[in-house]
Structure formats: structure tokens, C-alpha cells
Structure 1
Amino acid sequence: MEKLTELKHSLEETWHSLGDDWRHLRERASGALTRFTPLAKNNKAPATTSTAAEFPSANWALLAGDLFEDNDKFVVRLEVPGLDKQDLDIEVRSDMLIVRGEKRYEQESSSGQYRIRQCAFGSFHRSIPLTAPVLADKATASYRNGVLRIELPKTEQASGRRLEVRGD
């Protein structure tokens, strides 16, 4: 009977641990999970009516990012591989950073087939809340090796503007 009690206790601990780990993963991924809206065929990405064999891409993907803050500024880094800097649109508001983009589908080959398709294509946007107002006129953005870096100096007053992305 003692062995059965030990086994039950061990299973309960394992179950709680899995639950805690799953909750932690869900919390970490919730901000990075981004919806990609498919584009029309004339924009080199199929619309939502395409068949799975034609274009079985995901509609959701993770755009991992970091938000660093010190006394003077915020620094946001977003991993957005496969884009050109002109595919990105950045808007700064008093308490929000909004990054929009468009990832276009490129056909690998006219023969053969994909066995796994996990990449998402289409337009997307991410809204990143800021805990303090920023100087939108002094904000800068750069894109290099698939990483978008945005630096936002802090201020006491709120303002907003669009940013131009610099890059290689």
C-alpha cells in the first residue's frame, strides 16, 4: 500500500510540474504569437482559398522579441527573418510600438513537394506596450540579419510618428 501511495504522490508532482511548465510556455509565447493574413495571388502569396497542396503555410507564427528598458530608453528587438527593410512599417505612439510587415511567398521549385510547411506568409502586425512615453521624433530603427532593432528614447510627454528602417 505504501508503494501505491508513493506512486500516486509522484504522479501528482509530475502532473503539477507539467501544468506549471505549460502555463509558463503559454505566457512566454502569448506575446510572440502573431497572425499572418494571406495575400491575394497577384502579391505572390496565395489567398485563403488555396488548397493545402498548393500552399499549406501556417496562419500563425512566433515573432520572438525582446523589450529592454533602462532609465533613458527602450530597445526592442524582433526576429523577423525573410523580409526586406521596405517590407516593414513602424509606428510609435505615446504608449505603444506597432510593427507591421509583409512576408511574401517564394516558390522553391516547380517540381517536387513540401513535406513540412511551418512558415507563415502574408501581412502581420505586432503591438508592443510601452510603460512610459517616448520621444517619437528621436526613435530609430535598423534591420540586419533578420533582426529589427528599434531604439525609443523616453520622455515625460507623449507623441507619435512613423519610422524609416535603415539597413544593409
Structure 2
Amino acid sequence: MEKLTELKHGLEETWHSLGEGWRQVLDRTSGALTRFTPTAKSKQSTEPATYTESPSANWALLAGDLFEDADKFIVRLEVPGMDKQHLDIEVRSDVLIVRGEKRLEQESASGQYRIRQCAFGSFHRSIPLPVPVLSDKAEAIYRNGVLRIELPKAEHARGRRIEVRSE
């Protein structure tokens, strides 16, 4: 009976560990998908609902990179089809926040989309930064569908190399 109790306890611990592992994976990857929330301005179509208006049609992957060197962070986000005036960038404590709105432009009055892999609407993306940055010296450039943001590190966050001397 004692072996059965040990086995039950071991299975409970294993199940708890698996659940905790999945929660960590979801927490770490939740920032990869971005929700595009339809707004009144971007929802211009008066056509009946089609395949493309399923709930999953409002999710998209904003591919991005966060690169760090000794002096700064460089964030690159792929946001094709955007106008730079529809982007809003903000640094709040240790988080970079990028907001924007992709607007739907109707291309034709006849026919239907069978597959549409472009998301339209407003989006919000939060990117945690590992160390403090100088937000007043940050720069953003939008070119060819890629948003590049340079964030200089705060002086105390840059670290300092200490040389070892011989005696």
C-alpha cells in the first residue's frame, strides 16, 4: 500500500511539473502573437461575413528581433503595409510598447477572398527590456515595412569591464 501511495504522489508531482512547464511556455511565447482588434475606422466593408472574418483572422505574427550590444538595444519589427503616422512607440519603465493600426483598403468591388493572411485593425505589442534604457535618446526609423527602434542603455546598465592586474 505504501508503494501505491508513493506512486500516486510521484504522478501528482509529475502532472504538476508538466502543467507548470506549459504555463511557462505560454507566458514566454504569448508576446509572439499579436491581436489585431477591428476598429470602426478599419472595418469599412459592408459585405456579408465570409470565411476571412473568422475569429482567428484577427491574429497575426509580427516578426521581430531584439538585439543587444554593449551600448544599446535594437528592436526590429516587421509591420508591412503600415504608414509611419499610424505607429505609436513608448517606453514605460522596462517595457517597450508599440501600437499601431493597419487600415483595410478595398482593392476590388467584385469577387471574394478565399484566403486572407493579412490582419487589419489596431494592435498593441509589449516587449520587455532586460535593463533600463534612455528613452529620451531613442530613435525609430520605418523603411520598407520594417520598424527599427534603437534604445541606448542607461549608463549604470551598461556595465563596466574590470581589468585584472598582476602583482
**TM norm. shorter chain > 0.5:** yes
Q: Which residue of 2 aligns with 1:39?
A: 39
**Counterpart contact for 2:89–2:99, Cα < 8 Å:** yes
Q: Which 5+ residue runs of structure 2 have no aligned equivalent?
A: 1-21, 158-167
Partner of 2:138: 139
User: CA 1:135–1:45 in 2, change beyond 3 Å: closer, same or farther?
Assistant: same
Superposed, 1:71-82 pairs within 5 Å as 71-82=70-81
Q: Which residue of 2 aligns with 1:112?
A: 111
Question: What are the equivalent positions in structure 2 for 1:59-70 lying under 5 Å apart?
Answer: 59-70=58-69
Shift of 1:44: 3.8
Kept in 2, the 8 Å contact 1:134–1:157? The answer is: no
Distance 1:50 1:72, change over 3 A: farther
1:7-156 superposed matches below 5 A: 30-40=30-40, 43-46=41-44, 51-53=48-50, 56=53, 58-156=57-155
Give the 3-state SS of the residue equivalent to 1:109 in structure 2.
coil
Q: What is the Cα-based RMSD across aligned positions, in Å?
A: 2.8
**Alignment partners' CA distance in 1, 2:108 and 2:69:** 47
Q: CA–CA distance in 2 between the matches of 1:44 and 1:33?
A: 20
Q: TM-score, normalised by structure 2?
A: 0.70
Mark the structure with the bigger radius of gyration: 2
Deviating beyond 4 angstroms after TM superposition, the runs of 4 or more aligned structure 1 residues are: 25-29
Q: How many Å apart are 1:45 and its aligned residue?
A: 1.9
Confirm or deny: 8 A CA contact 2:75 2:150 kept in the other structure. yes
The superposition leaves residues 26-76 of structure 1 with CA deviations (integer Å, 9 ceiling, x where unpaired) of 898643200000011xx14259x9843296271100001000011110000
Q: Which amino acid aligns with 1:69?
A: E
Q: Percent identity?
A: 77
Instruction: Tell me the secondary structure at the aligned position of residue 133 of structure 1.
Output: coil
- Structure 1 stretches of 5 or more lacking a match? 1-22, 159-168
C-alpha distance 102-157 of structure 1, shift in aligned 2 (>3 A): farther
